[in-house]
Amino acid sequence: MSIAKRFAGRTIMVTGAAGNIGLTTALRFAEEGASVALVDLKQKELDDAVSRVITHGVTARGYVCDVTDPSAVRETVEGITGDFGRIDLLFNNAGYQGLFQPAHNYPEDDFARVIDTNVNGLFYVLKAVAEHMVAAGGGAIVNSASMAGVGGPPNMVAYAASKFAVVGITQTASKDLAPHNIRVNAISPAYMGPGYMWDRQVNLQAEAGTQYFSSDPKKVAEEMISAVPLRRVGSIDEIPGAVAFLMSDDASYITGVNIPISGGIL
């Protein structure tokens, strides 16, 4: 079944574009006809991502940027608008999961890094792109939150704090930007796999040594899946459709919403 070109003539900016979720979403938007500006920290991985996106016959360019540097973010947004003419859509997805430790043992420097990336960085990107969208007359933004920002999982105090903040930023920005015809929503994935992030989470929860999970990674995986009503992990491929819906005209009256992609975890 062919995918409709819903985003033909539009440009999407994707941060964290070389990671699994960012790249999979960039590819989905390319399939639907969007021009894609891919933003990430790592040049090689970014180049590889651009190479994959352009196979769909769209314009795509990569931009190396540290989202925790507001000057770099502004320069990158200016570069994208100069190259593409405009930014119609933003998938604000760059992030860092952090360590897995109980709150009383959690390292201060890692807490600061998580907040700097997931909260400050997300805000810097949102602000810079929103300024452009206000001048352009509108747009749509989807922020990457997490079910960690809904339920507060054990051993993830920094990540949970950052993602609760993302949900709050989304709700407030949706109100502030509504008069400018800019919609702001969020997605909150839960357990997604297989792959590096799933393996990392399972292994680190096992190593954390708390009452909530076994010390055996295989049993941790079973414990996590048993908490999901659909009794499976989600696939990364199940994320882009939700992002595309929120960006599309089908969601033209939806703003300030956080959509769980969680298999039924609430």
Enzyme catalytic residues = 159
Run of H or E residues at 182: strand 182-189
Nearest alpha carbon to residue 167 among 141, 182, 146, 140: 146
**Rounded to whole angstroms, how far apart are CA atoms 126 and 243?**
16
**Rounded to whole angstroms, how far apart are CA atoms 15 and 48?**
15
Contact 53, 76 (CB under 8 A): no
Q: Helix, strand or coil for residue 146?
A: coil
Contact 114, 162 (CB under 8 A): yes
Nearest alpha carbon to residue 250 among 27, 6, 8, 59: 6
The β-bridge partners of 37 are 13, 61
**Rounded to whole angstroms, how far apart are CA atoms 21 and 14?**
10
Both tokens of residue 3? 């995918």
Contact 149, 165 (CB under 8 A): yes
The β-bridge partners of 140 are 89, 183
- Supply the angle between the helices 196-208 and 217-226 in degrees, to the nearest 10: 110
**33 exposure class (CB count in 10 Å sphere: 0-12, 13-18, 19+):** middle
**Rounded to whole angstroms, how far apart are CA atoms 140 and 75?**
21
